[in-house]
Amino acid sequence: MPETGVSDTPRVAVYLDFDNIVISRYDQVHGRNSFQKDKARGLSKEKLAKATVDVGAIMDFASSFGTLVLTRAYADWSSDINADYRDQLVSRAVDLVQLFPAAAYGKNGADIRLAVDAVEDMFRLPDLTHVVIVGGDSDYIPLAQRCKRLGRYVVGIGVAGATSKSLAAACDEFVTYDALPGIPTPAPEPPKKATKRAKSKEPDDEPEPADPQAAATGLLERALRIGHEKDDADWLHNSAVKAQMKRMDPSFSEKSLGFRSFSDFLRSRSDIVELDESSTTRMVRLRRP
């Protein structure tokens, strides 16, 4: 790499599948498949306003990894829904890449164009250190894997409930839109009791997702057991435990579960962990029988 005087400064490229984020956010707020149903009879401004995507929150989070040297948003900008975001994106120096309007229920080609551009940019700009992919489509899994093989740190951002679990696992770090700083944090939800599902099932129905609170508890317990065995230590640093949890599940975020900090998350699991907060270096261990 040539000497530029800023070689130690992380350099970040951001790619936004904008249609994906807007539609996923709308469905998250108003219910599954609401966007396509409402689009057929006309999308109301009131419902669109309730599902507004905070572009600034996404860009600010991306900038926390380093200098944003390349930012692109892919969408059909002739659509009124996307056009409403043009000023926000242009004010953040985001390049708007025009896609051909998609046929009804067809793919808009954003994943193909975005992936091609990203791989080309990595070879054209060898000093890129981070790649941020904003979109939850499983089609981006090969791109995330290729970026990692080429030595880039891959960050994924997607809407909860509309993101492929495999895509989250393919990234070095994955954050849900709801967990971004500046987005209102939901209150923690208690584990839900299993309910009987109706016998009638739509063809595109997916299995019920695991309860996120229970899944996070299991992840914490596994991370602690690994840490105790690997380090042969009684107490483990909070930061080391969280780092291990993120390595096992890049989509883990205490904020998406409704906790302001990782320590708050640990305190809520006092039935399985002990927390030592007697010093500035917080320590944790599995609660002994």
SS3 175: strand
Cα 95 from Cα 15, distance rounded (Å): 10
- Length of the chain in residues, anyone? 289
Count of the separate structural domains present in the chain: 2
Nearest Cα neighbor of 125 from 94, 92, 147, 155 is 147
* CATH number where 49 lies: 3.40.50.1010
- 170 with 29, same domain: the answer is yes
**Same domain for 133 and 41:** yes
The span from the CA of 162 to the CA of 157, in Å, is 11
Q: Which domain holds residue 128?
A: 11-179
Is the residue at 129 inside a domain?
yes
- φ/ψ bin of 151: left (φ > 0), alpha (ψ from -120 to 50), beta (otherwise): left
Query: What is the DSSP pairing of strand 273-276 with strand 283-286?
Result: antiparallel
| 160/281 same-domain check | no
The per-residue pLDDT for 207 is: 46
Cα torsion 49, 55, 60, 61: sign:
positive
| Per-residue b or e along 115-124, where b marks 16 or more CB atoms closer than 10 Å to that residue's CB | bebbbebbee
Could you report the per-residue pLDDT of 243-275, keeping only the tens digit for each? 888 888 888 889 888 898 999 999 999 999 999
Q: How many CB atoms lie within 10 A of CB 158?
A: 26
Indicate whether 150 and 222 sit together in one domain.
no
Say how many C-beta atoms besides its own lie within 10 A of residue 243's C-beta.
13
Which residues, given as ranges, of the chain have pLDDT below 70? Answer: 1-7, 101-108, 185-210
